[in-house]
Amino acid sequence: MKGSVIVGMSGGVDSAVAALCLLRQGYAVQGLHMTNWEDDDAYCTAAADYQDARSVCSDLNIPLHRVNFCQEYRELVFANFLHEYHAGRTPNPDVLCNRHIKFGVFTDYARRLGADWIATGHYARLSHEGVPHLFKGADSNKDQSYFLHAVPGEALSNILFPLGELTKPEVRSLANDAGLANHAKRDSTGICFIGERPFRNFLSRYIPERPGDVCTPDGSIVGEHTGLVYYTLGQRQGLGIGGQATGSDEPWYVAGKSHDRNQLIVVQGRDHPLLLSTALTTRNICWVAGEPAALTAVNSLESSAQTRYRQADEPCRIQCRPDGTIEVIFESEQWAVTPGQYVVFYSGDECLGGGTIESTSSMENTGSIDPEVATA
C-alpha cells in the first residue's frame, strides 16, 4: 500500500477518475466533498453534485466525507472578488479558490482526517523531487496550471494530480469502462461559485446598477451602460450599440472605463490600437518553486507568459522596477489585457508563477490618450 490519499470529490468525472486511478495504483483512497457556496435557487448545483459524489464513491467502494467551507470561501475569496469589482478591476476568483480553499483549508482538513496525500482532478503535473515544481497538463486543451500558479510550492508537497498525463477523452473512456454513473456528465463552466447563472443578475445583488454613457475615445456618445462593473475589456456581446450613421460596420468592443466620468469606452474593430498592449505591471508575484535566480534588481528574466486562460504562451521580458513593481514587456502586442486578471509565467511546460495585472501600456496609450481610459 502506497499510503492514504483523500481525493477532493466534486461530483464530476475528473475527480471520479482521479480516485479510480489512485485505487488502481495501490493507494488507500477516501473521498472528501466540500461545499463552498450555497444559494437557494435553480443555479446552485451543490446538492446534486454531492449526490453524484456519493454515487461515485459507492461505485468505487470508498468512504466519502463531507465538509462545508462556505464561511471560509466568503471571507478568503468572495470578499476579494467584490473588493476588486468595486475598485474597477476584473478579478478571477478561481485562482484564489485554489490557493486558499482547495490547497489551503481543504488540505488542512484532509490532513486532520489522516491523509498522507491529497489529490484533485486538475489537469496539471507535479515534480516532487526537492521543492515541488508545477507543469502543464499533457492535455493542452484542459491544462489548468494557469489557475494553480498562486499555490505556493510548500502547499503542493503532498498533492497528487492523477490526471496530469491524461487527456479528457481518455478520462471519459476510463470512467465509462469502469461503469461510473457520471462518465458523461457535462463539465461545469463559469466562475466557481456563480456557475452558469446570468453574471450580471448575480453581481447586481451585491453591486447596484449605475447607468452611464457608452462613448468612443473622442467622447461621442453611442449608447448607455448599466454599470461599469458589468463589463470587461474586450467584451463584444451585450453592449446595446445600434447602427451608427457614420463609421464602419465592424463590431464594437469594450476598450476601457472612465470611472470619474462613469463612461464605458468602446471602439470598433478587434485590432483597434486601444485593445492592444505591449507591457503590463504587476507586483507580489507568487513563485511556485521560489523566485528565479536570474531575476534580480538589475537583471531581467526572459520568459513567456499568458494573460488569460488557454492563451498561447507569449515571449516576454520580466524586470524589476525601483518602486517594487514588476514590468512585463512582450515581444508582440497583446489583446485586451485586463487589470485584475493574472499574468502567469512559463519556462517551457513549467509554470513558474504569476501575479495580478495592475496596469497596461503601449505606444498608443501614452501622450494624448487618457491613462484611466487606456488602462481601465
User: Which amino acids are annotated catalytic?
Assistant: 97, 192
User: Helical H runs in 67-133?
Assistant: 70-73, 79-86, 93-96, 106-112
Radius of gyration of the chain (CA): 22
Closest C-alpha among 286, 285, 288 to residue 154: 288
**Residue 309 to residue 146: CA distance in whole angstroms:** 6
Which grid coordinates belong to 220?
A: 461621442
Q: Is residue 376 classed as helix, strand or coil in its secondary structure?
A: coil
**Residue 114 to residue 126: CA distance in whole angstroms:** 22
**Residue 255 to residue 234: CA distance in whole angstroms:** 6
Phi and psi torsions of 46, nearest 5°: -60, -45
Which grid coordinates belong to 18?
A: 482521479
Q: Are 207 and 86 in contact (CB under 8 A)?
A: yes
User: Helical H runs in 97-218?
Assistant: 106-112, 145-148, 168-177, 199-203
Residues written for the chain? 376
- Look at strands 117-119 and 4-8 and give their pairing: parallel
| Cβ-based neighbours of 118, under 8 Å, separated by 6 or more | 5, 6, 7, 8, 103, 106, 107, 110, 111, 158, 159, 160
| Cβ-based neighbours of 3, under 8 Å, separated by 6 or more | 27, 28, 116, 117
**Residue 192 to residue 98: CA distance in whole angstroms:** 10
